[in-house]
Amino acid sequence: MGAKKYIVDLSDEDRKTLEQFTSTGEQRAQENTRARILLKADDGLTDATISEHVGCHPQTVHNTRKDYTERGLAAIHRRKPDREYERKLDGN
């Protein structure tokens, strides 16, 4: 298998932020899972190992790595800030 395309390399400040984020228990479970994925990815674990430890699908790990490389720590939140929705009903 080839080298990983999306490498997670957390700074000390980002790591501290994520550790605090996961330890409080005040966030949504999905966001907490993504934060734990990033912490384990920074430790150098493979996607399969991370998915076993965290309890999610390996594709979730891949997507979280990708989102982190594109958006930074905002990747733990699901929605992108520039996302626009088209109305399905116009009120008439």
In tens, the pLDDT along 20-38 reads 988 887 778 889 999 999 9
Q: Which domain holds residue 55?
A: 28-76
Q: Is residue 49 part of a domain?
A: yes
Q: Is residue 19 part of a domain?
A: no
pTM of the model: 0.79
Q: Is residue 2 part of a domain?
A: no
Q: Is residue 89 part of a domain?
A: no
Tell whether the model's pLDDT for residue 60 goes beyond 60.
yes
Give the number of domains in the chain.
1
Q: Is residue 86 part of a domain?
A: no
Q: Is residue 39 part of a domain?
A: yes
Residues 6+ apart with CB under 8 A from 34: 64, 75, 76
